[in-house]
Structure 1
Amino acid sequence: MHKFISILLIIAAIFSCKNNTVLYFDQEPPSAIPELFAPSIVNTDSIELNVVFNDDNTEMFFSRIVDNSFVIHHSELINGKWSEIKPIKLYDDNVLVSVACDPTITKDGKTMYFLGVDPKLYKNDVTREELYTIPPDIYKSKKVDGKWELASKVDFLVSTEYLETYPVVTADGSLYFRSNRPSDEGGMNTYRAQYLGNGKFGTPVIINTKTEKKELITYVSPDEQYAITNGQGKFQITFNNNGEWTKPKEIPLNYESNWRYYSPYMSSDGKYFIYSRRYNTPEKKGWAGVEKGEVYWVNADVLFNTKTE
């Protein structure tokens, strides 16, 4: 009897491991040492960024630069296998150069928010660096009958004439994002817009963290119990303590010079920290000098073993 039970446990363990690798493109899960995410599938010779998953880990999204456009790609888990990586059409056919990156997916998997640039504000022969001189806004796309529809700008309370970036949607549908809109604090701040239903949001309010060097929230957990900030080229973590955010503490990674670290995210099961980095030539700053863009993942223990005040 004991031998029979042992055999069942072994079979269950094997099945569990196999299922786990299927969820992440047959990759071995990373340890405390960061590793490239899905080499040759997501990470290629192109510039890639922003790997995120929907809540039930059945759809994966990331951005890739294609012919000077930032294009969101995706793959779906169908009958236990990931589909071929394909771009998502989010703008009209007449838009030849575009920006779509930093996707974030609602809990029901039916709405995607992302950073976009109004196609009416640039020419089709615009360069990649020129695209990022235009203030971005937050856009959304709905998934209807299994297909992502063309995107539209989020209502004016969220998307303004000023810069909005890094949208992150919470479990209740509310949005965190960065903006440099006029405020008493001045400069760039993290905002939270409460979701009211029917695609509407309340007036965004500034979220204050106890920062010393203007680190701003670029990821927040679905339950809003912790957030990852980004400042001085490094990641920090802060926890929600009864409505007050703790002082951010640096997440210990092997940060390399001339690489910019950004777009932090967590896998939907909370086990892995996923982030992007890009390499800039020392002579140029911003996207004009980017030569390589990569996505890494690492065991989430590197976050939660970081003590905070």
Structure 2
Amino acid sequence: MNKILSISLIIATFFSCKNNPISYFDQDPPSTIPKLFAPSMVNTDNIELNVVFNYDHTEMFFSRIVDSSFVIHHSELINGKWSDIKPIKMYNDNVLFSVACDPTITKDGKTMYFLGVDPELYENDVTREELYRIPPDIYKSKKVDGKWELASKVDFSVSTEYIETYPVVTADGSLYFRSNRPSSEGGMQTYRAQYLGNEKFETPVIINTRTEKKELITYVSPDEQYAITNGEGKFQITFNHDGEWTKPEEIPLKYESNWRYYCPYMSSDGKYFIYSRRYNNPEKKGWAGVEKGEVYWVNADVLFNTKSN
């Protein structure tokens, strides 16, 4: 076999593998018009948010509010079929109310980071409103022998006494997140913590994407070449040029009033943009007033057609 033919076969094999259809619970993929993700399975009469897949698309995660607790649920792709959706236990049995949401999975599929609330900070008779006012931290769970273990807080340089939200792990294990810890910039900022190995991180540094509209990163691609921000209730996209992030440009979706759009993520093949939205009772603020929560997906063209760089 000559060298040119051999290379051609390798390339053909590569693209053949890459183009194999990925299973999304037997759903027809969306166009550039968003639609509900997995109705009756993920989207139900409960409040659901943040659908996330692992890197090799063999496990799917999302959060659901159950009896006033945020509970991470998952399904696994086994022999070509998705298993029944089940909750993941993150805290001890004595924790009656809990927060576990916004999961993000490392490239090897063995570590999950998520937004959590320290169960030791409140009594078991805490109200739903009080629970949602406690500053969240970033937790992690390890997958051992096919089972997700009870969670523990990420090291002190990432999880502090201040607010930490929206953890997103990159391909090299580093973490992006948002925090209102004291800084020269003041207020809520996007941080990046370089992963050092052995579950340790460098001191987080501020990532400057903030503009007059206060857009902050809530998703970053595994290779850190682009990120999705939130500002004024809408999504924006920004691109990384040699460490400098471009001015965020609005992602053109039909944003409806009284709905808050949040929890942006990308499918593991990069073809679909997945996001959450929630409806708030206009007379109530925060999660205590949320009456409906849904997860949508849409073709990723809506993101990259805004690219002007």
Q: TM-score, normalised by structure 2?
A: 0.93
Measure, in 1, the Cα distance between the counterparts of 2:110 and 2:47: 27
Partner of 2:287: 287
Q: 8 Å contact 1:247–1:308 — kept in the other structure?
A: no
What residue number does 1:12 align with? none
Partner residue in 1 for 2:47? 47
CA RMSD of aligned residues (A): 1.4
Deviation at 1:128, TM superposition (A): 2.5
Letter in 2 for 1:288: A
Task: Supply the distance in 2 between the matched residues of 1:96 and 1:163 (Cα, whole angstroms).
Answer: 22
Which residue of the partner structure matches residue 212 of structure 2? Answer: 212
Spell out the pairing of 1:49-64 with structure 2 (5 A cutoff).
49-64=49-64
Give deviations 1:51-92, integer Å, cap 9, x for gaps: 000000000000000000000000000000000000000100
Aligned to 1:33: 33
Helix, strand or coil at the partner of 1:238: strand
- Kindly indicate whether residue 127 of structure 2 is the aligned counterpart of residue 127 of structure 1: yes
- Cα distance between partner residues in 2 of 1:295 and 1:126: 28
Q: Which residue of 2 aligns with 1:193?
A: 193
Contact 1:265 1:275 in 2 (8 A): yes
1:192-243 deviation digits (Å, cap 9, x = unpaired):
0000000000000000015221110000000000000001000000000111
For 2:223, the equivalent position in structure 1 comes to: 223
Q: Deviations over 1:146-205 (max 9, x none)?
A: 000000000000000000000000000000000000000000000000000000000000
Once the two structures are TM-superposed, the CA of residue 19 in structure 1 deviates from its matched residue by 6.4
In the alignment, what sits opposite 1:272? 272
- For residues 237 and 166 of structure 1, the distance between their equivalents in structure 2, rounded to whole angstroms, comes to 16
Structure 1 gaps, min length 5: 1-14
Matched letter for residue 79 of structure 1: N
For residue 285 of structure 1, report the CA deviation from its aligned partner: 1.3
Amino acid at match of 2:216: L
How many Å apart are 1:144 and its aligned residue? 0.3
Separation in 2, partners of 1:40, 1:270: 24
| Aligned residues of 1:51 and 1:274 also touching (Cα < 8 A) | yes
- Give SS of 2:93's match: coil
Indicate the SS of the match to 1:20.
Answer: coil
Q: Matches of 1:258 and 1:125 in 2, distance apart?
A: 31
Partner SS, residue 278 of structure 2: strand
> 3-state DSSP class of the match of 2:21?
helix
Deviations 1:224-265 (A, max 9, x none): 000000010000000001110000000000000000000000
The aligned counterpart of 2:143 is: 143
| Distance in 2 of aligned mates of 1:92 and 1:160 | 22
Alignment-derived partner of residue 169 in structure 2 = 169
Q: Distance in 2 between matches of 1:19 and 1:146?
A: 25
Shift of 1:132: 1.5
Is the CA contact (8 Å cut-off) linking 1:246 and 1:308 kept in structure 2? no
Letter in 1 for 2:214: K
Q: In the aligned structure 1, how far is the partner of 2:48 from the partner of 2:164? A: 21
Q: Distance in 1 between matches of 2:128 and 2:82?
A: 30
CA distance in 2, matches of 1:176, 1:280: 27
Q: Give, as a single letter, the amino acid of the residue that structure 1 aligns with 2:269.
A: D
Deviation at 1:127, TM superposition (A): 2.7
Give the match's secondary structure for 2:264: strand
Give the letter aligned to residue 239 of structure 1.
Answer: F
TM-score (normalised: structure 1):
0.93
Aligned length: 293
Identify the residue that residue 9 of structure 1 maps to in structure 2.
none
Aligned equivalent of 1:249:
249
* Residue equivalent to 2:21: 20
Q: Which runs of 5+ in 2 are unaligned?
A: 1-15
Question: Where does residue 234 of structure 1 map in the other structure?
Answer: 234
Letter aligned with residue 287 of structure 2: W
What one-letter code is carried by the residue in structure 2 that aligns with 1:59? E
Which residue type is aligned with residue 40 of structure 1? Answer: S
8 Å contact kept, 2:210–2:216: no
Amino acid at match of 1:301: D
User: 2:267·2:274 contact (CA, 8 Å) conserved in 1?
Assistant: yes
Going from structure 1 to structure 2, the CA distance change for 1:265 and 1:198 (only over 3 Å counts) comes to: same
